[in-house]
Amino acid sequence: MSQDSTLQLAGLIKGNEAALVDELITAMRNKLMRFDKVSESEIRQQTAQLLKLLELNIPKTTTHNLNDSIWAETKQLLTEFSHARVKQGYTPAETASIIFSLKEPIFKLLRASLTDQPQQLVEELATTTALFDSLGLYTIDVFQKARELVISRQQQELLELSTPVVQLWQNVLALPLIGTLDSARTQVVMENLLQKIVETGALIAIIDITGVPTVDTLVAQHLLKTIAAARLMGADCIISGIRPQIAQTIVHLGVNLEDVITKATLADAFVIALKKTGASITNSAA
């Protein structure tokens, strides 16, 4: 990118910002791009900001390498723009469309300005394409990283929500498990259970696996680790929800649960827990 080329491009942007924004909005409407989650006025404002930064920064460099410190402020604007689009539910392509859609109106200005200079026009078009492609790809990259962070955070929140520890009675906790128990989830289960034991001083924790579809060697190991951790905190564990097929699987796998109380239902486990804590339930006469 030559100095003359950068000055030419910056000069075309200067004074044409409003026209460029108008053409961008028209192009977005023609391509049926969405305005449902972000207003037209917001897009106009963001595009005007981007054009102003390009107008200021393009003459300061002869390269479109965005690692150059000259582009720091522009990259910050694109980062904020991409993060907002992640929260608004846009796709990477929709997010980068504003950048890529700016190329055509700028090409139009270049063609009008350099009609009688075909060689320079070709160079300017190549320079502009390289610059806006770099900006667009940066936007996509930032968008994808931001979305991965959002997904990771949501997965963590879902893990925590899917492993509630409930206090059934004084000194008695229940941990109902639903779905597959993998290593990551086991860690959350263990942390939530141990924290609740500390908070309540519970003596018994009922781990209910009624909602666990299958029990294999790995799931059994995760259960045993959770039980061992709870015992270190002073709480004994009872496993409820042992269905016939799960009982057969555990025996077939050779998993040793001899020192763990197991029951078919949560209700049965609760009765045992009450006895162990010295409490009892009696039916009152009507």
pLDDT digits (tens, 9 = 90+) for 87-102: 888 889 888 888 888 8
- Nearest C-alpha neighbor of 147 from the set 109, 188, 90, 99: 90
- 79: pLDDT strictly greater than 90: yes
Higher-confidence residue of 37 and 178: namely 178
Residues 6+ apart with CB under 8 A from 51: 13, 17, 20, 21, 102
Higher-confidence residue of 153 and 269: namely 269
Helix axes 118-161, 92-101, angle to 10 degrees: 160
Average predicted confidence (pLDDT) for the chain: 84
Residue 215 · residue 254 · CB < 8 Å: no
Three-state SS at 166: strand
> Quick one: average pLDDT of 161-181?
85
pLDDT value for 199: 94
Higher-confidence residue of 180 and 263: namely 263
- 196: pLDDT strictly greater than 50: yes
Lowest-confidence range among 39-43, 84-88, 146-150, 202-206? 39-43
CB 93: neighbour CB atoms within 10 A? Answer: 12
For the residues of 196-222, what is the DSSP string, one character each? HHHHH--SEEEEEEEE-----HHHHHH
Question: Which domains are present in the chain?
Answer: 3-159 (1.10.490.10), 166-276 (3.30.750.24)
> Quick one: average pLDDT of 123-131?
87
> Quick one: average pLDDT of 233-259?
86
Residue 86 · residue 147 · CB < 8 Å: yes
Beta strands in the chain (DSSP E): 166-169, 172-178, 204-211, 236-240, 261-263
From residue 260, how far is each of 38, 209, 231 by CA, in Å?
57, 14, 11
pLDDT value for 3: 47
Lowest-confidence range among 70-74, 90-94, 279-283? 279-283
- 2: pLDDT strictly greater than 80: no
Higher-confidence residue of 233 and 246: namely 233
> Quick one: average pLDDT of 59-75?
82
Integer Cα distance of 58 and 274 in angstroms:
75
Q: Exposure of 159 by Cβ count < 10 A (0-12 exposed, 13-18 middle, 19+ buried)?
A: middle
Residue 220 · residue 251 · CB < 8 Å: no
Lowest-confidence range among 49-53, 236-240, 256-260? 256-260
CB 18: neighbour CB atoms within 10 A? Answer: 11
Q: What is the DSSP letter of 284?
A: P
Residue 262 · residue 242 · CB < 8 Å: yes
CB 182: neighbour CB atoms within 10 A? Answer: 12
pLDDT value for 1: 45
pLDDT band at 43 (very low <50, low <70, confident <90, very high): confident
> Quick one: average pLDDT of 77-94?
89
What tokens does 153 get?
Answer: 């955070």
> Quick one: average pLDDT of 108-130?
87
Integer Cα distance of 184 and 181 in angstroms:
8
From residue 88, how far is each of 37, 143, 147, 237 by CA, in Å?
6, 12, 11, 45
Residue 121 · residue 114 · CB < 8 Å: yes
